[in-house]
Structure 1
Amino acid sequence: MKWIDKIKQCEPSRPFYTFEFFPPRTDQGFANLLPRISRLNSLGPLGISITWGAGGSTQDRSLDLAGLTQSEYGIDTLLHLTCTNIVQERLDDALKEAKSRGIQNILALRGDPPRGQESWISADPRFKHAIDLVTYIRQSKEYSSNFCIGVAAYPDGHPDGVTDRETEFLHLKAKIDAGADFIVTQLFYDVDAFLGWVKEIRARGITVPIIPGIMPLQTYASFLRLTKLCGTSVPPSILADLDKIKHDDRLVKGYGVKFAIDVIKKLENGGIHGVNFCTLNLEKSVQLILEGLQWTFHYDDHRSNKLINVKTDLTISAHKATDTAAQTLTDKPGKVSGAGKGEVTSASTWDEFPNGRFGDFKSPAFGVQDPWGGSTSHPNAAKWGRPTTLDQLTSVFLRYLHSEISDTPFSDGPLSEESQVILPQLEKLTKRGWWTVGSQPAADGAKSTDPVFGWGPRGGYVYQKAFVEFFAPEADVERIISKIGSQGKGWVDYFAVNLEGDLRTSMDDDGRNAVTWGVFPGQEIVQTTIIERESFLAWKDAAFSLWAEWASVYPPQSPERELLESVRKERWLVSIVHHDYIHTDSLWDFLSDL
């Protein structure tokens, strides 16, 4: 059913809400998202939406997931479509596939630039803006009547910041006039400013439904990252509140739930009766918010009975999908061991503390950095200079370590406080030509309130093993592997891989290495950072693509592009962990004489 028709059925006394998900990066995360969607669907959303991914990086998974939820399980699904890297043939294929799966709802977006690109550039001059997608669909005899179309709006201004407020209003009005049926907004934190923005929208003759975007706070770090990504204005009072509790993830999550409830109640009083939850594939906060609002109910439309039955059907299918994924991933045996009990039924507890790139690769939220699958910033490549030699590339990574530049293609923000602890060691490796892209120092029982190492609820203790990731020449990788084999057995584990996927490792196929964990009163040990084969290979694909994206900034056949392309083909990505977390220098001493 089309969202616009369902929205019109909702009376002001009957609020509605939708849930947004992204396609997980791993097969098992994908399979295990299905029961998560099932659990949230039992709360009675108007529908769900599936993101497309920056640069179309998850296009096939987006179509697969949206197709499953729509055609297999009857959940009215909104599929995001972006102009980024899209050409007419690919757009036609996506629309044809969506139609064949019974999808009737599209969110038309321009999309973000791929990582490493200086600015947004269209792959097809016919599709530069969201309005081009709206117009193309509405003018198509095959698709016009099939799809209900939503578009995005930015109450705090577009994150690119290239247009003024009046121009943005004109662009939004043009998208509606082209045939869009409703608006979904970017997240915001200033409710009064948002309601003022809505009044301005209405004053300009835009009458279509407006669905505010609500993203529950999960951790202080993710809050800062995502507000920066979205260009969101945050009232000083909120920043002050969060600063007091930023080292206690549980208090931050609780604050986020209460804040979201207050926001939605104010929106209701202001005449807004529907919201879109950006779930980040997490569920606990959303459940608590809806329970606090007393909004959990089923819609009495013609499919209400089917929706009630979806929970059982979807969970059964997810168990089957999980088994299939476990049997097919990288041609390894069917059983995946060491994952703990109740992988599917206990999945809601996996994401107590969102885990960034690492965590459990079976989790639906594995690898989340932002809600749309892209980079968390759109860096200006000019700051990285025009490297034409390996020494100049080394200089880029050293300048980052010295805080002379704020990011690299592989690190979207300044060096973390944790990494500052091991700055001399990282500097030494980088000068050697081992360009570091990820690391953490060891910690033995740091308090969970520690300003550098702490996370989780108060009264706990956190531990972590030292690890480092870097790009290195093949000859050096051979020396590292040789030393680990002769002197590091039992204490040092590694993964190393090149662009072609030639993987070398000291770990078993199903080995799992928890490198960050916490012990808290009254609960099981929580493992938030896990390094194993699937997560490393998922990162490998992204890491080597970043070299290609960086190279694409420079003209074809230029010395800069040739250098970066050769590095991509020749260097190896290496990840090394030392299991002795009590002696904090163990890893660095082991590497020092190589």
Structure 2
Amino acid sequence: MKWTDKIEKRGSSRPFYTFEFFPPRTDQGFANLLPRISRLNTLGPLGICITWGAGGSTQDRSLDLAGLTQSEYGIDTLLHLTCTNIVQERLDDALKEAQSRGIQNILALRGDPPRGQEAWIPMDPRFQHAIDLVTYIRQSEEYSSNFCIGVAAYPDGHPDAENDRETEFRHLKAKVDAGADFIVTQLFYDTDAFLEWVKEIRARGINVPVIPGIMPLQTYASFLRITKLCGTSVPPLILADLDKIKHDDQLVKDYGVKLATDMIRKLVENGINGVNFCTLNLEKSVQLILEDLQWTAYHDDRHWNKLINMTDHEPLSSETDLTISAHRATDTAAQNLADQPGKATGIGKGEANSASTWDEFPNGRFGDFKSPAYGVQDPWGGFASHPTNEAIAKWGRPTTLEELTALFLRHLHSEISDTPFSDGPLNEESQVILPQLEKLTEKGWWTVGSQPAVDGAKSTDPVFGWGPRGGYVYQKAFVEFFATEEDVERVISKVESQGEGWVDYFAVNLEGNLRTSMSDDGKNAVTWGVFPGQEIVQTTIIETESFLAWKDAAFSLWADWASVYAPQSPERNLLESVRKERWLVSIVHHDYIHTDSLWKFVSDL
């Protein structure tokens, strides 16, 4: 059913909500997302959204996921569709495939520029903006009446647009005039500014439904990263609140639930009748928000009327709000949902590892590749926020291996803020092992990922801590770097002759030739936590599937970096040769008691 028909039929008597998901990177994550969507569907959403990777990079998975949720689960699904790298034939294929799977709702987007490009460049000049997709569908006899079309809007302004506010209003009005049926907005955290923005678009004759994007906070680091990438304005009070609790992941999650709940209440009080939850493929926070709002199928209209009349909310910055208990009545409801047929398997049997909560803290470098949220926080750098001129200004024009080594050392020394493989400065945790990282990098092993060994740091530790307070966290030391094939052979030889079962490695090249000491089904948890009243939580697991999933991103970044420079230039030739010749290597030492075990092992390599 078309979303606008459902919105009209529902009327203003009760609010609606939708859930947004992305296609996971791995088959196991994909399989485990389906029962997660099924559980969340029991909460009664209007529908769900499935995102479309940049340049159609997840086209097949997006269509497969949307097709399954639409046809197998009977959920009215909205499929994102972008102009990036699209041509008419590919667009027609996608629309026909959507039709064949019963999908009636499309979100038309321009899409992000491919990584490494200074500007967004269309592959087909007929499809340069979202309005071109809307116009094409509306003017087609085959598609026009079959699809309900949504478009995006940016209450805080488009992150990479130089247009003034009036120009953005005109563009939005043009998309609606071309045939868009509703608007889904980018995430925001300034509710007052959003409500003012709605008044302004209404004054300009934009009267289609507006569905605001709400993203519950998951971790402090991901909040900072996402708001930076989206150009989101964050009120100072929220930043101040989060600064007090940024080292306690559970408090950040709890705060995110309270923040989203209060935002939505204020939106409803001011006439906004629906929201779109950006779930990041996680479910617990959304469940808690809907329970707090009493919007789910478990609550009747009396609770809704009570919500409408609620005006005396406590301020978000009060001390009581910062210590919300995660163990509330909704845990029972969540567990009941998790125990229904079709739940994910192979992820533990206890409460902490139930299907709804087992991956609540996706903080790890690799995470668990079985999680639907695996890959949500891409640990690699990226070029979306690095136009060509900026990349050259920051990273120069390397033409020799020695200059590449110097560049990676500059990052370790905080002389540059990031590299193509790291989107920020060296964090506090890595500073602990800075001398060891310097030695490896000086040898031409360009380190791109690492962590020190930790034996029982408090979960509130400002450097190593994560998860709820009152617990202890542990880490095995590992290091990841690019090296020559000769170096790989030396690593393998030493692990086999002197590792004594304490050391494991992975090594892979561009072609996907994998060498490892791990068995195909071997599991190597390198970060875990022990918390009161819970099972052991593992947030970082290095195994074959996860290593290969990141391998593709790792080598693609060399190509992205090379594309910054002119064809046949010395810089591009160097970076392309490195991509073809170097191997990505990861070494883990299982002795987490002695913090120098890994570094002693690799010191004479």
Query: Same fold, TM exceeding 0.5?
Result: yes
How far is 1:66 from its partner?
0.4
- Structure 2 residue 172 is matched with structure 1 residue 165: no
Who is 1:548 aligned against?
A: 559
Contact between 1:117 and 1:381, CA under 8 Å: does it hold in 2? Answer: no
How far is 1:418 from its partner?
0.8
Give distance in 1, aligned partners of 2:170 and 2:253: 37
Who is 1:188 aligned against?
A: 188
How far is 1:318 from its partner?
6.9
- Structure 2 residue 153 is matched with structure 1 residue 153: yes
The code of the aligned residue for 2:248 comes to: D
The number of aligned residues is 566
Who is 2:205 aligned against?
A: 205
Q: 1:343 and 1:143, CA in 2 relative to 1: closer, same or farther beyond 3 A?
A: farther
Specify which of 474, 477, 483 is matched with residue 463 of structure 1. Answer: 474
Q: For 1:103-502, what aligned pairs fall within 5 Å after superposition?
A: 103-297=103-297, 340-341=348-349, 346-355=354-363, 357-369=365-377, 375=382, 377-379=384-386, 380-382=390-392, 383-502=394-513
How far is 1:87 from its partner?
2.1
Q: Tell me, what secondary structure is at the counterpart of 1:277?
A: strand
Who is 1:60 aligned against?
A: 60
Who is 1:524 aligned against?
A: 535
How far is 1:374 from its partner?
9.9
Contact between 2:351 and 2:534, CA under 8 Å: does it hold in 1? Answer: no
Give distance in 2, aligned partners of 1:12 and 1:6: 12
Deviations 1:230-287 (A, max 9, x none): 1111111001111111111111111111111110010011110100000000000000
Q: 1:493 and 1:393, CA in 2 relative to 1: closer, same or farther beyond 3 A?
A: same
State the percentage of identical aligned residues: 85
How far is 1:299 from its partner?
13
Who is 1:69 aligned against?
A: 69
When structure 1 is superposed on structure 2, of 40-49 and 359-368 the one drifting more is: 359-368
Contact between 2:381 and 2:419, CA under 8 Å: does it hold in 1? Answer: no
How far is 1:478 from its partner?
0.6
Contact between 1:496 and 1:575, CA under 8 Å: does it hold in 2? Answer: yes
Contact between 1:355 and 1:366, CA under 8 Å: does it hold in 2? Answer: no
How far is 1:167 from its partner?
1.2
Give distance in 2, aligned partners of 1:350 and 1:162: 42
Q: Tell me, what secondary structure is at the counterpart of 2:226?
A: helix
Structure 2 unaligned residues grouped into runs of 5+: 301-335
Who is 2:309 aligned against?
A: none
Who is 1:512 aligned against?
A: 523
Deviations 1:461-511 (A, max 9, x none): 111011111111101111111111111131111100011111100111111
Q: Tell me, what secondary structure is at the counterpart of 1:414?
A: coil
Give distance in 2, aligned partners of 1:539 and 1:18: 30
How far is 1:395 from its partner?
2.2
How far is 1:586 from its partner?
1.2
Specify which of 569, 583, 593 is matched with residue 580 of structure 2. Answer: 569
Give distance in 2, aligned partners of 1:97 and 1:342: 40
Contact between 2:85 and 2:122, CA under 8 Å: does it hold in 1? Answer: yes
Contact between 2:485 and 2:582, CA under 8 Å: does it hold in 1? Answer: yes
Q: Tell me, what secondary structure is at the counterpart of 2:18?
A: strand
Q: 1:453 and 1:509, CA in 2 relative to 1: closer, same or farther beyond 3 A?
A: same
The CA RMSD measured in Å over matched residues stands at: 2.4
Q: Tell me, what secondary structure is at the counterpart of 1:49?
A: strand
Q: Tell me, what secondary structure is at the counterpart of 2:295?
A: coil
Structure 1 unaligned residues grouped into runs of 5+: 301-310, 323-335
How far is 1:350 from its partner?
1.8
How far is 1:192 from its partner?
0.7
Q: Which has the higher contact order (CA 8 A, sep 6+)?
A: 1
How far is 1:542 from its partner?
1.2
Q: What TM-score, normalized by structure 2, do the two folds share?
A: 0.90
Give distance in 1, aligned partners of 2:298 and 2:124: 42
Superposition misfits of 4+ residues, deviation over 6 angstroms: 342-345
Deviations 1:414-464 (A, max 9, x none): 211111111121121112111111111111111111111011111111110
- Structure 2 residue 514 is matched with structure 1 residue 503: yes
How far is 1:341 from its partner?
4.1
Give distance in 2, aligned partners of 1:318 and 1:294: 24
Give distance in 2, aligned partners of 1:457 and 1:582: 23
Give distance in 1, aligned partners of 2:571 and 2:299: 57
Q: 1:393 and 1:126, CA in 2 relative to 1: closer, same or farther beyond 3 A?
A: farther
Give distance in 1, aligned partners of 2:230 and 2:116: 17
The code of the aligned residue for 2:249 comes to: D
The code of the aligned residue for 2:420 comes to: P
Q: 1:152 and 1:544, CA in 2 relative to 1: closer, same or farther beyond 3 A?
A: same
How far is 1:108 from its partner?
0.8
Give distance in 2, aligned partners of 1:524 and 1:344: 6
